Amino acid sequence: MIHGCFSRGTTPNQFFTLPFEKELISDLKVTYTQNKQKILQKTLKDVKIEGNDISFTLTQEETFQFSEKGIVSV
């Protein structure tokens, strides 16, 4: 699990590096939780994969779903 924070109403870029080749992926879920509740989930159709890197940008609307207080876990 990855822990991080960002400001509500921003559009943060998200980057992840896979420890294996992208051809091995048939399904993907990047889940954001806060206070033990699922807030947001990205799937394979929502992300860009180049080499071993996964990236996407959260929208303002998506980041407004998080509480002002508390850690966001990925």
pLDDT, tens only, 29-56: 999 999 999 999 999 999 999 988 999 9
Cβ contact 57:48 at 8 Å: no
Instruction: Please state, in angstroms and rounded to a whole number, the distance separating the CA atoms of residues 20 and 6.
Output: 28
Work out the pLDDT band at 5, boundaries 50, 70, 90.
low
pTM: 0.85
- In tens, the pLDDT along 6-16 reads 788 999 999 99
Burial string for 15-51 (b: 16+ CB within 10 Å, else e) reads eeeeeeeeeeeeebebebbbeeeebbebeeeebebee
Q: Please, what is the average pLDDT of the chain?
A: 90
Instruction: Please state, in angstroms and rounded to a whole number, the distance separating the CA atoms of residues 55 and 66.
Output: 20
